[in-house]
Amino acid sequence: MKKYDVIVVGAGPAGLMTALTAGSGGLRVLLLDMKKDIPRVFRSCCCNLIIEPGTHGETVTYAQAAIQFEKNRFAVPYSGAVIPLKQSVKVSPCGNTLKIKGKSAEGFVAVSYEKEMLLHNLFDLVQQQRTIDIRTETQGVGVENKPNGVRVFLRTAAGTSWVSGRVAVAADGVNSKLVQSLGLNETRRKFFARFRVASYHMEDVDCPYPDSWITFVGTGHTRGKRGQLYMCPKPHAGTTEPRVYELTIGIPVVAAAPGFTPEEELRYFTTQGRFASWFRRMKIIDTRAASLNFYTPLVNPLEGNVVVVGDAAAFIETYVQGAVMYGYQAGTAILKYLATGTGLEDYAASWKETFEYNNPEEIMQATQGFGLHVLRDEDIDYLFSLTQGDEVRGYVNEFSDPITVRRTLFSHLEQVRQERPELAAKLEKFTEVSVHDALQVNKT
């Protein structure tokens, strides 16, 4: 049986980039994915290019049909279209808003792009590497460290088998089967909640906030009174016309009270919700879904000769750009390791230093921003009536956004104290909101 240098399980942005980096360095790579069409995206992914400097310890820009990683000094081609987003709009149940604009007058808060096009571009490069073998409709279900390398267990429609290599890469996403098989979820990670997600891609939406990242805040947007809704314009099939919007909902799973499916909630939101008028003419051109587990990140994304990259190691997710960046770093580290015997630690060290949620403070910060979701709808309506005209500047970025929101609300604290002292007290307690409360795990 052929023995590979590197077996990469999962061909999303992290796996493709790891395979590409290792393969172009001359290593024999096996790349596996359970999908038949690797570059196609069936999962919800409302991710934009996060342009705030320092995100994941990197500064990412889009220029010359490529996504540029300044600090790591590499670029990946992106031949699709982009939509620079001019503002981030948070909408309360009654329609009041908190708007965050770019740092400068012509600045953007993020750049909307098409993940599928990026995967196509990366996959094209992978296919050009003769040292990379690709197997589709093959799922990695487990991995074991062996004295001279690793053994990866595979399953296909035809049955199970295994393949050996020197290094395995778990790039199989947020619900990683490989991480699970190593026992790391039980021993190293704290589990918060499971979310199920669905999204629609729609044409002919009458959106009053064009070129915006829109977050619908509060419980009143859904029939089941829980869940988080996001919407933003997305390039589609390489163009920006006609305008396509992606509307996504995530709902925490409460086994005892399953409530409505995300798809049912999307249907409700677009036909009967407060903003149904935006969707009167809309046509659904694509439906996607996902299932997310919220864990604390892996403390060490290495286990023997298994390297964990991308969402598989993260707190829900790294941004797509983070998956590409960590894939690049992992590929580089594996090249060094197989040449010299050391090097994987370089990747682990970079992961620990740059992935924000490895810092408990960051989880706290994010939680305090999510604190919005423990406010009652009428509180949010009231608070957003105060912020409607505010000139707020910032980015779409889950790490800095909670701080921006908190700062904006706190700038009205005096007025809130006078008009709604109870709410002011609640606001000041934002810092005490637990992650569980914020994720509404205990709410039914």
CB of 219 to another protein, least distance (A): 19
- Shortest CB 136 distance to another protein, Å: 9
Residue 151 in the binding site for another protein (CB under 8 A) = no
**For another protein, the closer CB: 200 or 245:** 200
**Other C-beta atoms lying within 10 Å of the C-beta of residue 267:** 17
Phi, psi of 336 (to 5 degrees): -70, -40
Please choose, out of 190-198, 217-225, 272-280, 331-339, the segment that lies near another protein by the rule CB under 8 A: 190-198
Dist. CA 105–CA 227, nearest whole Å: 33
Token representation of residue 68: 């540029």
Least distance between another protein and beta carbon 200 (Å) = 11
Helix ranges (H only) for 280-395 are 320-340, 344-354, 360-370, 377-387
Q: Give the residue among 126, 124, 118, 12 at the shortest CA–CA distance from 65.
A: 118
Interacting span for another protein (CB under 8 A) from 167-175, 267-275, 361-369, 413-421: 167-175
Contact status, residue 191 vs residue 295, Cβ threshold 8 Å: yes
Rule CB under 8 A: is residue 139 a binding residue for another protein? yes
Q: Are 227 and 93 in contact (CB under 8 A)?
A: no
Q: Which residues touch 183 (CB under 8 Å, ≥6 apart)?
A: none
Rounded to the nearest whole angstrom, what is the least distance from the CB of residue 25 to another protein in the complex? 29
Tell me: does residue 324 bind another protein (CB under 8 A): no
| Choice from 20, 167, 198, 433 touching another protein (CB under 8 A) | 198
Residue 435 C-beta: closest distance to another protein, Å: 20
| Residue 288 found at the interface with another protein (CB under 8 A) | yes
Those residues whose C-beta lies under 8 Å from the C-beta of residue 41, and which sit 6 or more positions away, are: 115, 116, 119, 288
Given candidates 25, 149, 173, 301, which one binds another protein under the rule CB under 8 A?
A: 173
Nearer to another protein, 3 or 42 (CB): 42
Residues in 31-60 at the binding interface with another protein, rule: CB under 8 A: 34-37, 40, 42-44
Cβ count near 180 (within 10 Å): 17
* Dihedrals phi, psi of 178, to nearest 5 degrees: -70, -45
Using CB under 8 A, count the residues that bind another protein.
38
- Residue 140 CA to residue 156 CA, distance in Å, equals 9
Q: Is 144 in the site for another protein (CB under 8 A)?
A: no
Per CB under 8 A, residues contacting another protein are: 34-37, 40, 42-44, 137, 139, 141, 155-157, 172-173, 175-177, 180, 194, 196-198, 253, 255, 258, 261-264, 287-293
